[in-house]
Amino acid sequence: MLINIDPLLSPELLHALRAMGHGDEIALVDANFPGTSNAQRLIRLDGVTITDAASAVLSVLPLDEFVDVPVFTMEVVGNPDEVPPAVADLRAIVGDRAACGTLERHAFYARARTCFAIVQTGETRLYANIILKKGVVRS
């Protein structure tokens, strides 16, 4: 056990977050995402919502301040301006810490394949996928 660490941050996830360097990206994805076939490292958080996972990760992960958009969500196929409820919730969690961009579905898959890790949650809401770019940890 550790003090002040969200219990959703499993040992495997904490290791990945700590091993990431500035500019590395991590994808938090829903239960429908093809995680196993796209991940360099797949970390499972079955039974955990995307919003709980994002809140836990962002409690320890700084976002990159040196890029204009360090956060990306997946666009709705055929309606890129639509904001699904899960995406609205993720944007609220990110808040004013960083700008959120969007990526077309296949562009999101391609970018997720380059991420340091993919964290597959048990989220069942559609389009509940987000990529976070790690920033500098300041002392």
Provide the 3-class DSSP secondary structure of residue 15.
helix
Q: Which of 6, 22, 24, 96 is catalytic?
A: 22
Distance CA 91, CA 68 (A): 16
43 touches 120 (CB < 8 A) = yes
Q: Which of 30, 46, 52, 64 is catalytic?
A: 64
29 touches 4 (CB < 8 A) = no
Ordered alpha helix ranges (H), the chain? 11-19, 35-38, 50-58, 85-94, 105-113
**64 has catalytic annotation:** yes
Distance CA 30, CA 23 (A): 23
In this structure, the strands spanning 71-74 and 130-133 are antiparallel
**22 has catalytic annotation:** yes
Provide the 3-class DSSP secondary structure of residue 77.
coil
**15 has catalytic annotation:** no
Active site residues: 22, 64, 109
